[in-house]
Amino acid sequence: MAPIEPNIHESWKNIMLKEFEAPYFGDLKEFLVEEKKKHAVYPPGSEIFSAFNSIPFEEVKVVILGQDPYHGQGQAHGLCFSVPEGIMPPPSLVNIFKELHQDLGLPIPNHGSLVKWAQQGVLLLNATLTVRANQAGSHQGKGWEQFTDAVIRNLSENRKGLVFLLWGRFAQAKEALIDKAKHHILKAAHPSPLSAYNGFFGCRHFSKTNEILIREGKSPIDWATARPEASLFNH
């Protein structure tokens, strides 16, 4: 089989080389090739590694863990919880913006793109990086989790002072991969409408993250994504 040449930033390609060369990753690639013959798959191939292409490995400061890409047309673009501008923000993302407003007083934007966070060092990492159209969880158990667990372990082992935001039980199960002596873990309920009132609202993770980053001697994240003229509050 030809060597796999992922469309991923060189810093990540170097650190993850062992995974790309592993048999499971070859199997995963074959699965995706076959899957795309029969089904629409999201996000587009060029955006599967968007989270990694937004920020080099050594510049990651914060990690937010999601589970699965959005499975509606045009929603997934390789960053967990984020949707491209022009796509209606899904309910979990709306709740993230509500908590940001409560925590930091930031206006709620009328778009759902978190690209600005990613460019500042927030790794928006889904455990599974692809999904079949309209079928949530359809690419789980195919190899992606092995790859993204390795991402978390590499960050834990090779970096120091990162902030991991673990929202919901699925993300919190990844805590075992993180060296708590070297990194900071903030846990809360998932921002989904089903659970946001059980501890996501009021968690103040955005201000807490910035307090930690400042203590670590790093620049805080500018969490504002709304353009001045583009807040829902102005309409």
pLDDT greater than 50 at residue 127: yes
Higher pLDDT, 232 or 74: 74
Distance, CA of 211 to CA of 215 (rounded, Å): 6
DSSP symbol at 109: B
Q: 3-class DSSP state for residue 158?
A: helix
- Give the global pTM: 0.94
pLDDT digits (tens, 9 = 90+) for 22-70: 999 999 999 999 999 999 999 999 999 999 999 999 999 999 999 999 9
147 in Cβ contact with 17 (< 8 Å): no
Q: Count CB atoms within 10 A of the CB of residue 82.
A: 29
Token pair 């009021």 in the structure block, residue? 202
Chain mean pLDDT for the chain = 94
Residue partners of 190: CB distance under 8 A and separation at least 6: 92, 167, 168, 169, 170, 171, 196, 200
Angle at 122 between CA 93 and CA 204, to 5 degrees: 55
Whether the per-residue pLDDT at 234 is higher than 70: the answer is no
- Residues 154, 73: Cα–Cα separation, whole Å: 32
- Residues with a catalytic annotation lie at 68
Of residues 222 and 6, the one with the higher pLDDT is 222
Q: Which pLDDT value is given to residue 226?
A: 76
